[in-house]
Chain A
Amino acid sequence: MSDYNFAYLDEQTKRMIRRAILKGLAIPGYQVPFASREMPMPYGWGTGGVQVSAATLTPDDTLKVIDQGADDTTNAVSIRKFFERTAGVETTEVTAKASVIQTRHRIPEAALNEDQILVYQVPIPEPLRFLEPRETETRKMHALEEYGLMHVKLYEDISQHGDIATSYAYPVKVEDRYVMDPSPIPKFDNPKLEMAAIQLFGAGREQRIYALPPYTKVVSLDFEDFPFVASKADHPCDLCAAEDSYLDEVILDDAGNRMFVCSDTDYCRSRRAEGHVGRLGEQEGAAA
């Protein structure tokens, strides 16, 4: 199976995607239309992120793929294998060793550096889509900077639930201009959107690419009396005792027992390797 072009896509497709990425970086938060290709995986499995990664990878890169923070779930494993086979690049599960990280719905806990690139898989790139279904209208709303509807939505959250109930895909404003969907990352991750790495967003089915250059100003929408809060489950990790990481809740049995574990598997593993042990963690040397 060595007969693929480097990184699967043909060169003309890569050039088209690369031009879209450059325009995306020049207009942070703006959704650039691109001619998304069919990929050998179904829509909803990261075809946008895969195309952006394919256009971005060089033979020297080390790729990491995560799905909800985990390196070992189906989506992450199959995309990692896809690029091992079609691009021949090195792969890793260690955040600090990766030069390109493709992610579904999380930002790694460890801070990324200037030489790293974070590629997001995006299902619905248009933050206004659930408020206004017509593309012609939402495009006009972005052009006119008409974002009142989004604030009404957040206000209705408060009036119905007493709080902004949006907990993931929490809308942000980029450089005081475009309202952007950060993809369905938990709002806990929103403050990390201002980072040193290049962030690229690919939506395959919806045929949009957008981007955030390093240190771009990204502000989560809120109100003066209801400021944005980056919330997480109020527990330490039961395996590594981390207080500062985003947690998944795992039901253990029918008796109501549950545990909370880091969603970032690499972060959790590296902490356990350093000797941190949580409530249900096993001592060093035991099976992980």
Chain B
Amino acid sequence: MQKTIEQSSFSGGFSEPAFDAAYGFRAAMRAMARPGERQEIGGAVPPAGVSDAAGSLLLTLCDPETAIYLTSEFDTPALREWIAFHTGAPVVAPERADFALGGWEAIAPLERFRMGTAEYPDRSCTLIVEMPFGEAPNATLRGPGIKDSRDVFLPAVAPFQKNALSYPQGLDFFFTSGSELMALPRSTSITAKG
């Protein structure tokens, strides 16, 4: 959707919150259940510089109970106000975050995010990484949710392999671009391609 100069932190929310969030969650769930498969998601129009997919994911999953970390490029007053108005989620340091939003370069290193404990591996951060889709696949995914294998493009390979090694602890990723998202849970094993 076109972003206009008139856009304020009050605009760009879900027009039908219950329905938009239900469709948004279905996309997020299908993505997490089928790692590497792209899903359409929409409904929200976040401030300029943030994809509709990432904005819709935030509105679907975040509320005052979930702390969000924004990388410096995304930590703008406009996005902070938009998140505060539409979700009420606090913006925090990476060590305390339940969700993180940023580009790949700025969101690394991954070690600073919570990866859960041995007894509660679910108490870990979910990272939303903005990146362009459509580049040639550089990794092959195998594991739960994938029938045989699936080739995808990842912004790097080694850090995700390392993340998968700490299974069942670890981080889970959503990659977003435009109105599309795909997911990479910690359970997926990754091999570099070529």
The answer on A and B forming one complex is yes
Q: Interface of A with B (CB < 8 Å)? A: 5-7, 11-12, 14-16, 18-28, 30, 32-33, 55-59, 114, 139-140, 142-144, 175, 177-178, 196, 198, 211-217
| Ranked 3 nearest A-B pairs via Cβ | A213-B145, A26-B185, A6-B18
A26-B187, A177-B167, A215-B146 given as contacts; is B29 within 8 A of A198 (CB)? yes
A15 and B62 CA atoms in complex are apart in Å by 7
Which residues B102-134 have CB closer than 8 A to chain A? 117-122, 124, 126
Interface flags for B141-158 (1: CB within 8 Å of A; 0: not) read: 001111100000000000
- Number of B positions contacting A (CB below 8 A): 39
Q: List 29 A-B contacts (CB under 8 A).
A: A5-B18, A6-B19, A7-B18, A11-B17, A11-B18, A15-B21, A18-B25, A18-B61, A21-B29, A23-B172, A25-B32, A25-B185, A26-B187, A27-B185, A30-B121, A56-B25, A57-B22, A58-B19, A58-B23, A142-B119, A143-B119, A177-B167, A177-B168, A196-B147, A198-B30, A213-B32, A213-B145, A214-B144, A215-B145
- Minimum CB distance partner of A22 in chain B: B32
Contact between A198 and B33, CB atoms less than 8 A apart = yes
**A178: chain B residues within 8 A (beta carbon):** 168
Out of B25, B118, B122, which one reaches A143, CB within 8 Å?
B118
Q: State in angstroms the CA–CA spacing of A19 and B32 once bound together.
A: 11
Are B144 and A6 touching (Cβ within 8 A)? no
Give every chain B residue within 8 A of A27 (Cβ-Cβ). Answer: 121-122, 167-168, 185-187
Is B65 engaged at the interface, CB distance under 8 Å to the other chain?
Answer: yes
Within 8 A of A (CB), among B33-76: 33-34, 60-63, 65-66
Chain A residues within 8 Å of B22, by CB: 6-7, 14, 57-59
The answer to whether B168 touches A30 (Cβ under 8 A) is: yes
A interface, by DSSP: helix, strand, loop or mixed? Answer: mixed
- Whole-angstrom CA separation of A58 from B119 in the bound complex: 33
Minimum CB–CB distance from B164 to chain A (whole Å) comes to 11
Contact with A along B165-190 (1 / 0, CB 8 A): 00110001000000000000111000
Residues from chain A with Cβ under 8 Å of B32 in the complex: 22, 25-26, 213
Q: With both chains docked as a complex, state the minimum distance between the C-beta of B38 and any C-beta of chain A, in angstroms.
A: 15
Given contacts A7-B22, A15-B60, A58-B26, contact A23 B122 (CB under 8 A): yes
Q: Is the CB of A22 within 8 A of B29?
A: yes
Extra contacts, 9 of them, besides A212-B144, A213-B32 (Cβ < 8 A), are: A12-B63, A18-B61, A21-B29, A22-B172, A26-B186, A30-B168, A33-B122, A140-B119, A143-B117
